[in-house]
């Protein structure tokens, strides 16, 4: 293997077929090869015994399968596993496996760092280094799936769901994302159903539209605020794509997947976005648009540089009640893996910041809205 040979993890099945065609091979050979790599986790062409010797020889000189070096692995008491992968040049990204009774979810990173710079997100505070390639996105799933099968002594699939909720904004790395999603969905690879692969976005409106046309997987939108003034501050991308435009894009997305719904994620920040009035504003927003949706309230996972605190449980429940009583399905996310810093927004990897984000963040104004001295819902808090 030399550095100039092709990394086959970079290809979806069409890409691999095109590569094989250049080697003078038919498409069904690409399908066989794709299955060996993704379904069986084999990286060594010599072991792919049903491929002709001539093809294996050609592959040995033109291609390789490049896993990401594992820097570390941590296991939480709740079974959550977090891997840190080296992606070169001093950058490392994280992936997290979250086992549940009825599913196994892998949370996958799309970038080393993130350029959006959300105030409450530790990845955002690290700034941006670079986009991951398709192969680096797929390698997280490839490695985790085959590691877990061995680790758990399972022959059948372990990972049933993928969420693009690790480090990075997936829709700011669109061209690498889509072939990776196609590989996740392909029956000759991971065979995940469209609704079990979720792209989470802070709201890159034009790319939401493209994703709807190209690969309409489940869409989660990180809303976090019910009005533009607050969202501009928490999710700076809102200044470019304000809430009204974002909700219209969500509506258009559902035209590609009419029986689906949008999941709105809402990180509960103490004294910032967690009042009952905020919940009521959300109700008015989504009712106004008539969007088929549900809400996922995420208790904020604090980190020192944010200067923010988690909303008390009673306030989260009061917030959820306003939404539920308006007929909106609302869940409160269970925090998993926080003993190993694997919970939402705690993924920090190791990023060579090219954007000086932490300096800029430190200079930004912290908006904590004053709370009325004796607001009724808060009176119940411990
Ligand atoms: N960039 C994408 C996907 C990665 S973030 C996005 O923003 O949607 C995945 C989810 O974790 C998002 O909903 C994000 O808002 C949330 N999140 C980020 N930091 C968090 C924190 N400190 N506590 C709780 N949730 C957080
Ligand atoms: Fe980027 Fe998402 Fe973190 Fe915002 S919440 S900084 S978009 S990773």
Span 243-301, pLDDT tens digits? 999 999 999 999 998 889 999 999 999 999 999 999 999 999 998 888 999 999 999 99
pLDDT at residue 24 in the model: 96
The mean predicted confidence, pLDDT, of the chain is 90
Asked whether residue 1 carries a pLDDT value surpassing 50, the answer given is no
Residues whose beta carbon lies within 6 Å of some atom of ligand 1:
114, 120-121, 165, 169, 200-202, 222, 265, 267, 298, 300-301, 344-345
pLDDT digits (tens, 9 = 90+) for 133-152: 999 999 999 999 999 999 99
* C-alpha closest to that of 298 among 150, 143, 118: 118
pLDDT at residue 195 in the model: 95
Structurally, how many domains does the chain consist of? 2
How many whole angstroms from 165 Cα to the centroid of ligand 1? 7
Share above pLDDT 90 across residues of the chain, in percent, rounded to a whole number: 81
pLDDT digits (tens, 9 = 90+) for 41-95: 999 999 999 999 999 999 999 999 999 999 999 999 999 999 999 999 999 999 9
Q: Which of 166, 265, 295, when mutated, tests ligand 1's pocket best, judged by the most ligand atoms within 8 Å of its CB?
A: 265
Q: Which two tokens stand for residue 375?
A: 């607001």
* Residue 381 placed within a domain: no
98 and 169 both lie in a single domain: yes
- Cα–Cα dist 120/223, whole Å: 12
184 and 59 both lie in a single domain: no
Give the Cβ contact number of residue 227 at 10 Å: 15
220 and 281 both lie in a single domain: yes
- Cα–Cα dist 313/302, whole Å: 14
202 Cα nearest atom in ligand 2: 7
Is the pLDDT higher at 65 or at 368? 65
DSSP 322: H
285 and 342 both lie in a single domain: yes
- Cα–Cα dist 288/378, whole Å: 28
Q: What is the reported pTM?
A: 0.91
* C-alpha closest to that of 243 among 268, 216, 218, 264: 264
Collapsing DSSP to helix, strand or coil, 99 comes out as strand
Give the model's confidence band at 355: pLDDT under 50 very low, under 70 low, under 90 confident, else very high.
low
- Cα–Cα dist 23/87, whole Å: 29
- Cα–Cα dist 351/252, whole Å: 35
283 and 233 both lie in a single domain: yes
318 and 200 both lie in a single domain: yes
Collapsing DSSP to helix, strand or coil, 132 comes out as coil
Beta strands 161-164; 262-268: pairing state: unpaired
Range of lowest pLDDT (8-12, 29-33, 269-273, 288-292): 288-292
Asked whether residue 369 carries a pLDDT value surpassing 60, the answer given is no
Q: Using CA positions, which residue lies closest to atom 10 of ligand 1?
A: 165
* Residue 55 placed within a domain: yes
* Residue 107 placed within a domain: yes
Q: Which of 94, 169, 222, when mutated, tests ligand 1's pocket best, judged by the most ligand atoms within 8 Å of its CB?
A: 222
Ligand with smallest separation from the Cα of 126: 2
310 and 247 both lie in a single domain: yes
* C-alpha closest to that of 8 among 44, 47, 53: 44
How many whole angstroms from 282 Cα to the centroid of ligand 1? 18
Asked whether residue 169 carries a pLDDT value surpassing 50, the answer given is yes
* Residue 181 placed within a domain: yes
Asked whether residue 374 carries a pLDDT value surpassing 50, the answer given is no
- Beta carbons within 8 Å of 244's beta carbon, 6+ residues apart: none
Tokens 């986009």 belong to 131
Q: Using CA positions, which residue lies closest to atom 5 of ligand 1?
A: 165
Collapsing DSSP to helix, strand or coil, 331 comes out as strand
Collapsing DSSP to helix, strand or coil, 337 comes out as coil
Is the pLDDT higher at 30 or at 350? 30
- The answer to whether the CB of 165 falls within 8 A of the CB of 344 is yes
Give the model's confidence band at 343: pLDDT under 50 very low, under 70 low, under 90 confident, else very high.
low
* Residue 21 placed within a domain: yes
Q: Using CA positions, which residue lies closest to atom 6 of ligand 2?
A: 124
Tokens 């680096």 belong to 136
pLDDT at residue 362 in the model: 52
Tokens 């077929």 belong to 17
Give the model's confidence band at 339: pLDDT under 50 very low, under 70 low, under 90 confident, else very high.
confident
**Residues acting as catalytic residues:** 94, 344
Q: Which two tokens stand for residue 8?
A: 């086959």
CA 253 remoteness from chain centre: 18
Q: Which of 64, 92, 113 is the last residue of a domain?
A: 64
247 and 99 both lie in a single domain: yes
- Cα–Cα dist 174/205, whole Å: 12
235 Cα nearest atom in ligand 2: 4
Looking at the chain, which runs of residues are DSSP E strands?
A: 6-7, 63-64, 70-75, 81-88, 91-100, 103-107, 111-113, 128-131, 161-164, 197-201, 218-222, 262-268, 293-299, 329-332
pLDDT at residue 337 in the model: 74
- 323, exposed or middle or buried, with CB in 10 Å at 0-12, 13-18, 19+? buried
122 and 249 both lie in a single domain: yes
pLDDT at residue 340 in the model: 73
pLDDT at residue 360 in the model: 58
Q: What are the backbone angles phi and psi of residue 282, rounded to the nearest 5°?
A: -65, -45
Give, in order, the Cα–Cα distances in Å from 143 to each of 108, 167, 220, 231: 12, 17, 25, 36
Residues whose beta carbon lies within 6 Å of some atom of ligand 2:
114, 116-118, 121, 123-124, 168-169, 202, 222
117 and 41 both lie in a single domain: no
Give the model's confidence band at 371: pLDDT under 50 very low, under 70 low, under 90 confident, else very high.
very low
Share above pLDDT 70 across residues of the chain, in percent, rounded to a whole number: 89
The CATH code of the domain that includes 36 is 1.10.150.530
pLDDT at residue 35 in the model: 98
The residue segments making up the domain with residue 242 are 70-363
The CATH code of the domain that includes 197 is 3.20.20.70
- Beta carbons within 8 Å of 6's beta carbon, 6+ residues apart: 19, 62, 63, 64
How many whole angstroms from 42 Cα to the centroid of ligand 2? 34
- Cα–Cα dist 142/139, whole Å: 5
Residues 163-184 have a mean pLDDT of 98
- Cα–Cα dist 215/193, whole Å: 12
């Amino acid at each position: 293997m030399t550095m100039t040979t092709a990394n086959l993890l970079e290809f979806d099945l069409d890409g691999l077929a095109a590569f094989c065609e250049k080697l003078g091979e038919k498409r069904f050979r690409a399908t066989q090869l794709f299955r060996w790599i993704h379904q069986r986790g084999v990286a060594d062409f010599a072991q792919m015994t049903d491929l002709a010797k001539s093809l294996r020889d050609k592959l040995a000189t033109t291609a390789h399968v490049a896993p990401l070096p594992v820097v570390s692995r941590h296991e939480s008491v709740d079974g959550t596993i977090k891997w840190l992968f080296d992606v070169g040049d001093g950058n490392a990204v994280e992936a997290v496996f979250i086992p549940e009774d009825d599913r196994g979810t892998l949370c996958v990173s799309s970038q080393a760092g993130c350029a959006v710079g959300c105030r409450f997100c530790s990845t955002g505070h690290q700034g941006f280094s670079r986009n991951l390639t398709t192969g680096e996105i797929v390698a997280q799933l490839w490695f985790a799936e085959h590691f877990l099968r061995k680790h758990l002594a399972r022959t059948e699939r372990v990972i049933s769901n993928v969420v693009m909720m690790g480090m990075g904004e997936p829709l700011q790395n669109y061209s690498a994302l889509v072939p990776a999603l196609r590989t996740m969905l392909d029956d000759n690879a991971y065979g995940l159903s469209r609704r079990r692969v979720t792209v989470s976005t802070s709201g890159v409106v034009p790319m939401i539209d493209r994703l709807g046309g190209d690969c309409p997987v489940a869409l989660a939108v990180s809303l976090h605020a019910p009005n533009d003034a607050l969202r501009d501050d928490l999710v700076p991308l809102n200044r470019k794509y304000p809430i009204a435009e974002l909700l219209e894009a969500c509506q258009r997305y559902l035209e590609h997947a009419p029986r689906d719904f949008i999941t709105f994620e809402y990180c509960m920040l103490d004294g910032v976005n967690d009042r009952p009035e905020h919940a009521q504003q959300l109700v008015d927003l989504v009712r106004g648009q008539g969007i088929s949706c549900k809400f996922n309230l995420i208790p904020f996972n604090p980190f020192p540089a944010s200067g923010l605190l988690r909303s008390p449980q009673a306030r989260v429940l009061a917030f959820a009640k306003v939404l539920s009583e308006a007929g909106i399905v609302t869940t409160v996310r269970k925090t998993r893996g926080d003993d190993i810093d694997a919970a939402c927004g705690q993924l920090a990897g190791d990023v060579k910041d090219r954007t000086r984000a932490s300096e800029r963040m430190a200079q930004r104004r912290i908006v904590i809205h004053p709370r009325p001295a004796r607001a009724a819902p808060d009176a119940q808090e411990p």
